[in-house]
Structure 1
Amino acid sequence: MALPEMTITIRDHLFYPAEVIVPAGKKVKLIFINQDDTPEEIDSFELNREKVIFGNAQANVFIGPLEEGQYTFFGEYHPASAVGKVIAVSPETFDNAH
């Protein structure tokens, strides 16, 4: 079975979407696409992840399995603007939303 995938675009030092909903209890692949010319470092203490994404490049970040809840991440180079959230919901809620 393929991993759930969520795409997050970095543009003007912001994340689009700023919130992604993922199924709790499953590993998830986050695909970050940086459309800015400058690099961004994705950082999350709650997810225990850190990844530099160069300008005009993309990178994958694998998370989970997560318990239900909210997990923040941010761009270390632009922490005032590049802020996002992963929301882990029950698989049933996730399936009904997608």
Structure 2
Amino acid sequence: MRSTLLSVLTGLLLASGAAGADDMPTFRLLMKDGHFFPETLEVPANTRFRLEVKNEGPGATEFESLELKKELVLAPGVTRNLVFFPMKPGSYKFFDDFHPATGQGRIVAR
């Protein structure tokens, strides 16, 4: 009886975690030729979200934010995801270390 209850509870926890990941809002960021598209991403404040970052350029790129403590290097043609914990309302800068003159952007949490 005890092991059956434990199995049921474990199954419910796993199912609720999977459902929570699928319900997470996803925002897309394209990197190409040293630029971010869009340069400004608006996201809901106080909400966990996923950022899908795609490099369509011919060389390596990097998504980096010192404020948000996130860093992701992408080879050409690669798409990767970053998960962000809920942010307070505000503006958070990010940049491409490989293209510092043009690779500047921000996430605005409202």
Name the TM-score class by shorter chain.
Answer: 0.7 to 0.9
Structure 1 residue runs of 4 or more that deviate by more than 6 Å after TM superposition: none
Aligned residues: 89
AA at the equivalent of 1:44:
S
1:45 is matched with which residue: 54, 66, 75? 66
Residue 44 of structure 2: aligned partner? 23
Could you list the per-position Cα deviations for residues 15-63 of structure 1 after superposition, in whole angstroms to 9, with x for gaps in the alignment?
Answer: 0000010011111111111001211111101111011111111111111
1:68 is matched with which residue: 83, 89, 92? 89
* Structure number with higher relative contact order (C-alpha < 8 Å, ≥ 6 residues apart): 1
Within 2, Cα distance between the matches of 1:4 and 1:79? Answer: 29
Within 2, Cα distance between the matches of 1:41 and 1:75? Answer: 5
Within 2, Cα distance between the matches of 1:86 and 1:64? Answer: 13
CA RMSD, aligned part only? 0.9
TM-score (norm: length of structure 1): 0.86
Q: Which has the larger radius of gyration?
A: 2
Within 2, Cα distance between the matches of 1:54 and 1:28? Answer: 23
Residue 84 of structure 1: aligned partner? 105
Residue 11 of structure 1: aligned partner? 32
Identity, % of aligned positions: 29
AA at the equivalent of 1:39:
A
SS at match of 1:65: coil
